[in-house]
Amino acid sequence: MKVKLTIWRQKNPDSKGQFITYPVDVVNGEMSMLECLDVLNETLMGRGEEPVAFEHDCREGICGSCGFMINGIAHGPLPATTVCQLTMRHFKDGDELVLEPWRSRSFPLVKDLVVDRRSFDRIIQAGGYVSVSTGNAPDGNAIPVGKEIADRAMDAAACIGCGACVAACPNGSAALFTGAKIAHLGILPQGKPEQDRRAVRMVAQMNVEGFGSCTNIGECTGVCPKEIPLEEIARMNRDYLLGAWRERGNVVTAIAPVTDWNFGEK
Amino acid sequence: MSTAVAGQRENRTPSFWQSTNGKKAVMAVTGAILFLFVVGHLAGNLQVFEGPAKINAYGHFLRTIGEILWAIRIILIVCVVLHIVATVQLALLNWKTRPVGYSRKKAINSSYADRTMYWSGPIVLAFVIFHLLQFTAGYIHPESQFIDGDIYHNIVAGFSVWWVSAWYIFSLLLLGFHMRHGLWSMFQSLGLNHPRHTPVLKQAALWITIVIVAGYISIPIGVLAGWVR
Amino acid sequence: MGKVTAMMNLDARIPTGPIEEAWDSARFEMKLVNPANKRRHSLIVVGSGLAGASASATLGELGYNVKCFCFQDSPRRAHSIAAQGGINAAKNYQNDGDSIYRLFYDTVKGGDFRAREGNVYRLAQNSVHIIDQCVAQGVPFAREYGGSLDNRSFGGAQVSRTFYARGQTGQQLLLGAYQALERQVDTGQVTMIPRTEMLDLVVIDGQARGIVARNLITGKLTVHLAEAVILATGGYGNVYYLSTNAKGSNATAIWRAHRRGALFANPCFTQIHPTCIPVSGDYQSKLTLMSESLRNDGRIWVPKQKGDKRPPNEIPEDERDYYLERRYPSFGNLVPRDVASRNAKAICDEGRGVGETGLGVYLDLSDAIARLGVETIRERYGNLFDMYQRITDEDPYKVPMRIYPAIHYTMGGLWVDYQLQSNVPGLFVLGEANFSDHGANRLGASALMQGLSDGYFIIPYTVGNYLASTKLSKVTASHPEAQAALASTQQGVAKLLAIRGKRTVDSFHRELGKIMWDDCGMSRNAAGLKEAIGKIRALREEFWQNLNVTGSGDDLNQSLEKAGRVADFLELGELLCIDALERNESCGGHFREEYQTPDGEAQRDDEHFSYVAAWGYTGAGKPWDLTKEPLEFAYVHPSQRSYK
């Protein structure tokens, strides 16, 4: 079968981008969306053109590197699937697929379909951890954690940080990503001592990064490859409300967002 | 909470009100209060079906508790203002989050009501203003005379005008959309959720909304149909 | 110049005395860095997977100044994230007779007696601390209703000692380490440098003092200096092109360090994972693993008849050959990976393979579904089943899965001593990037264990010992050796861009992979290996004449990145075959057809090959130097491995 890929091409953040349409032969339905791009890139390079830059690594749906919009849906039409696992059998001969990068001011564009998601790392830096240095741990079974609690925590912890939630949200909100980490650690007894501080700091960072507000409509969870539920956002709101009250006496700071790629190099 | 500069953490951090989450919590609380008003107001107005004496007595009663009525009015005004200021500020922020828009974007998981809050809200606001001018202040009262204190007359006369009723019904339907999202969303914004309760709540929001909207709409329909005259 | 020449006597610095006390006494004898002095030391960690992230976090907690590099956009993307099944620990929570000694024993035996006893014992000891540390970090391990940690069993062991978090154990452990790392980034102890790739090692006065790294966004090459360099960059499985590794996984960091003098040990010890989704076409870019944990509840079979094309559900029970259960009654479907893989290949070579290509066997969970119910199976393997269905469009709840072996892990890597230091002073190597703990075959759920043991519990001590006991001169980026390394890296990048030939990087890589898989894959023989070496040399020749890299070197250029990595694979592949040719025995993942027992099992030759083969680089196109580190077994006596 043949498909047309209409892809956003943009050399760098400062240049003007545009859509370019490329016809691609799909060998069989088991081919993934990214393998389709591989085939296209081989062709482009054969013609001396620059290949399409796209982010990818594990190609088994867990690293969270890949992701772009396909016909207006983050990660494409198949639920709970990253683009690396999206096989071409879900499309028909002659389909036109519009591939567009995540669009958010908190994910500045790098090149073609590649964006900068370091804002997510900074949200984790702000408090997405349990402050326990190596060597401090009691025996693994010292604190019992009920199966249901462990399962709930795992539901939230399954987030792969791909950014689809932000990309799909009409408001560009990072509530699902932030909520998932706050919920994962807040649910577990190990995360309780820092629950308030974590929520307040992570929410502050999320706001400083310039993400939009959550209007509880659920577009994020609809595209989430790991189907992180909307209730993680409620969990964040609860922890934040309680935390903001209990931590009202404490100073909260945030990390200045960085968008350049200069690491002290001359 | 205050802000400070320390090491590489230096940005000013948003206060409760400045944070998107804080604003949403304020919207939830104010929305809940406004919802209570919507229920109470309906309960009062449905007395129109019991005849002029009953509803005019109710109106009279409200005027006898002037200070309390004003207290309630002030609370409601504050709620409306906060609700609106928060929304407007969030909307302005949200429009800025995507400087380059998508060439195409499909909604796959949200309902119509979820996505129409931004304009169901302003229309409802316009309606509320019109409604107050019509029935409370009496400034707008097309095709009849506003009689201060004769609520029954004002209702019947007001709704006898077809376009007043149509505007009323249209606005109430939008209020319904607004409440259908808002009624469960407020719980989400305040973090009051549970995997078992939340689906029930969503259903309940729908049915409560239907009952309330039906209740309100029954009044102009009753007038137009001649059941209330 | 800027390079360490291989020493002839490798001192592995394994402590003497009883093995149970060896690590304790080694730690006691190590010199310490005063807490106040730690902040005066700077360290470079390359890689942010389990080993790199845990090392960076822990060294940051101790107060060192750490720079951590990763080529991905975020440290959380490292390929440790894809490990599915679990992590071993000798906790004996199941009361089934496990102990540190048993884990040690199983690992040495599973590695077919080609690992160092001392290292493995320490790994088993650390395993229990790893679980504790990860639980404290909030890793949501599976739990029993009563709140205690749950375990599952895994290949190569008869006890249940594998801790897991659904089918995403690697993800959860990595996120634990990543979060600990981000906490140190926040305190300023660790500087995270993402999207930056190490392209050379800076060696000054015989000591590793830094790296040359390329910023993948700006293309800028920079010298980063430190007092020690820690490589935690993973394995080299992608030399086979198709593997379960991530597309970005590469050997460039360790290979460039090798070219600066670090010895490469046992490159031919590669692991083939028995349970992957079979290849479906030429465009295929990678292979997807189905966790080995499926073998717990799954039964592997093929039709008894050759060329039986009936759908699996129509083949009656008595016409099925459960060949692992038949051949290995005591371990059954849970034989170690190398044994399971080899058997699958043998069966397919007989013509009894299933699926369109005939390269596949059934992994059937229908008995377990009948016994435990769909819900239990969904809970245990739901995400794996979903993944399988997404890729193949077949429902594993109804039809047996088809699986085939694929390259998965590389036991070989840079040679390190007991302190995880390579033969280049100041160069430490952790995790899959080193060769140390798994011998010739790694047991399932042991890679996560090793990465975290190295990062959380070994390097923090040994790097301190190095810093406290070594005189390090002050150096700056203008040092002639640093500048020379920078200049040669610049030339290397420019050379790749200047070829402007006809073939893409991927086409070279794919061809290399095919040579490697055909002649140096699941089974190897001398003739094939010699041929492969010739073919690789010719391919390398062509690569440098006919490579086509479009674009420039001063922005994000993914084919340029790949080109550098494939150039290194083209050298590493040759060494891998040379090592395989040199090792005239079969052991673990290295199966030489000439050396097998009458019933087709691997035949070791302990008399001649009980050593670590450490190869030294002598220059482009020149033969490698082989140094042998003899292996001694004082506790687990080498025997013919039997899982019958």
DSSP A209-239: TT-----S--HHHHH-TT---THHHHHHHHH
A218 touches chain B (CB under 8 A): yes
Q: What is the pLDDT of residue C644?
A: 79
Candidate from B10, B102, B111 with C-beta closest to A253:
B10
What is the mean pLDDT of the segment spanning B45-62? 93
Candidate from A27, A161, A184 with C-beta closest to C76:
A161
CATH number of C602's domain = 1.20.58.100
Residues 6 or more apart in contact with residue C238 via CB below 8 angstroms:
C245, C247, C249, C250, C251, C565, C569
Number of H helices, E strands in chain B: 8, 1
- Does some domain include residue C469? no
B196 touches chain A (CB under 8 A): no
Q: What is the CA radius of gyration of chain C?
A: 24
Chain C residues near residue A11 by CB distance under 8 angstroms: 555
**Number of CB atoms found within 10 A of residue C199's CB:** 22
Chain B residues near residue A178 by CB distance under 8 angstroms: none
How many whole angstroms from its chain centre is CA C221? 28
What is the mean pLDDT of the segment spanning B108-133? 89
Indicate yes or no: CB of C196 within 8 angstroms of CB of A263: yes
C350-395 residue pLDDT tens? 999 999 889 999 999 999 999 999 999 998 888 889 889 988 899 9
B29 touches chain A (CB under 8 A): no
- Does some domain include residue C511? yes
Same domain, residue pair C402 and C505: no
Going by pLDDT thresholds of 50, 70 and 90, the confidence category of residue B6 is: very low
Same domain, residue pair C401 and C535: no
**pLDDT higher at C639 or C269:** C269
On average, the pLDDT of chain C sits at 95
- Does some domain include residue B15? no
DSSP C457: I
CA distance A207 to A212: 8
Q: What is the pLDDT of residue C157?
A: 84
A199-231 residue pLDDT tens? 999 999 999 999 999 999 999 999 999 999 999
- Does some domain include residue B10? no
B6 touches chain C (CB under 8 A): no
C210 touches chain A (CB under 8 A): no
Cβ-contact A182, A175 below 8 angstroms: no
CB pairs A-C closer than 8 Å = 243
Q: What is the ipTM of this complex?
A: 0.98
Q: What is the pLDDT of residue C239?
A: 98
B185 touches chain A (CB under 8 A): yes
> Nearest CA to B199 among A230, C41, A14, A176?
A230
What is the mean pLDDT of the segment spanning A186-198? 97
Q: Helices (DSSP H) in A68-132: which residue ranges?
A: 118-125
Q: What is the pLDDT of residue C8?
A: 58
Q: What is the pLDDT of residue A265?
A: 62
Going by pLDDT thresholds of 50, 70 and 90, the confidence category of residue B2 is: very low
Indicate yes or no: CB of B98 within 8 angstroms of CB of A247: no
B6 Cα to chain C: minimum distance (Å): 11
Taking a contact as any Cβ pair under 8 Å apart, which residues of chain A between 96 and 125 contact chain B?
A: 98, 100, 103-106, 109
Q: What is the pLDDT of residue C4?
A: 62
- Does some domain include residue C489? yes
Asked whether residue C212 carries a pLDDT value surpassing 70, the answer given is: yes
B54-90 residue pLDDT tens? 999 999 999 898 899 999 999 999 999 999 999 999 9
Q: Look up C337 and say whether it is catalytic.
A: yes
Chain A residues near residue B191 by CB distance under 8 angstroms: 234-241
Cβ-contact C440, C613 below 8 angstroms: no
Domain that holds residue C404: 273-408
The total domain count for chain B is: 1
Cβ-contact C90, C102 below 8 angstroms: yes
Grouping H, G, I as helix, E, B as strand and the rest as coil, residue B225 is: helix
Domain that holds residue B134: 20-96+114-225
Locus of tokens 């594993």: C396
DSSP C393-455: ---TTTSPEEEEEEEEEE--EE---TTSB-SSTTEEE-GGGB--SSTTSPPTT-HHHHHHIII
Q: What is the pLDDT of residue B7?
A: 43
Q: What is the pLDDT of residue C531?
A: 98
What is the mean pLDDT of the segment spanning C481-506? 97
B115 touches chain A (CB under 8 A): yes
Taking a contact as any Cβ pair under 8 Å apart, which residues of chain A between 149 and 168 contact chain B?
A: 168
CATH number of C297's domain = 3.90.700.10
**Roughly how many angstroms between the first and final C-alpha of chain C, as a whole number?**
53
C525-564 residue pLDDT tens? 999 999 999 999 999 999 999 999 999 999 999 999 999 9
Stated length of chain C: 644
- Does some domain include residue B13? no
DSSP B144-155: S---TT-HHHHH
Q: What is the pLDDT of residue C562?
A: 98
What is the mean pLDDT of the segment spanning B41-59? 93
| Residue in C with minimal Cα distance to A25 | C283
Bridge-based pairing of strands C65-69 and C190-193 is: parallel
What is the mean pLDDT of the segment spanning B155-179? 94
Cβ-contact C612, C266 below 8 angstroms: yes
> Nearest CA to C564 among C135, C198, C282?
C198
Residues 6 or more apart in contact with residue A47 via CB below 8 angstroms:
none
What is the mean pLDDT of the segment spanning C581-603? 93
Q: What is the pLDDT of residue C417?
A: 97
Chain A residues near residue C459 by CB distance under 8 angstroms: none
- Does some domain include residue B102? no
**Roughly how many angstroms between the first and final C-alpha of chain A, as a whole number?**
50
**Number of CB atoms found within 10 A of residue B202's CB:** 17
A19-73 residue pLDDT tens? 999 999 987 888 999 999 999 999 999 999 999 999 999 999 999 999 999 999 9
Number of H helices, E strands in chain A: 8, 8
C59-81 residue pLDDT tens? 999 999 999 999 999 999 999 99
Q: What is the pLDDT of residue C391?
A: 87
Same domain, residue pair C496 and C618: yes
Candidate from A168, A237, A244 with C-beta closest to B1:
A244
Provide the token pair at C446. Answer: 């042991």
CA distance C490 to A134: 39
Going by pLDDT thresholds of 50, 70 and 90, the confidence category of residue B221 is: very high
Indicate yes or no: CB of C283 within 8 angstroms of CB of A63: no
Catalytic residue among C122, C209, C337, C402: C337
CA distance A207 to A216: 17
Q: What is the CA radius of gyration of chain A?
A: 20
Asked whether residue B196 carries a pLDDT value surpassing 90, the answer given is: no
A212 Cα to chain C: minimum distance (Å): 22
- Does some domain include residue C555? yes
Domains with residue ranges and CATH for chain A: 2-110 (3.10.20.30), 118-246 (1.10.1060.10)
Bridge-based pairing of strands C65-69 and C42-46 is: parallel
CA distance A244 to A250: 9
CA distance C453 to C457: 5
Provide the token pair at C57. Answer: 């976090």
Going by pLDDT thresholds of 50, 70 and 90, the confidence category of residue A251 is: confident
The total domain count for chain C is: 2
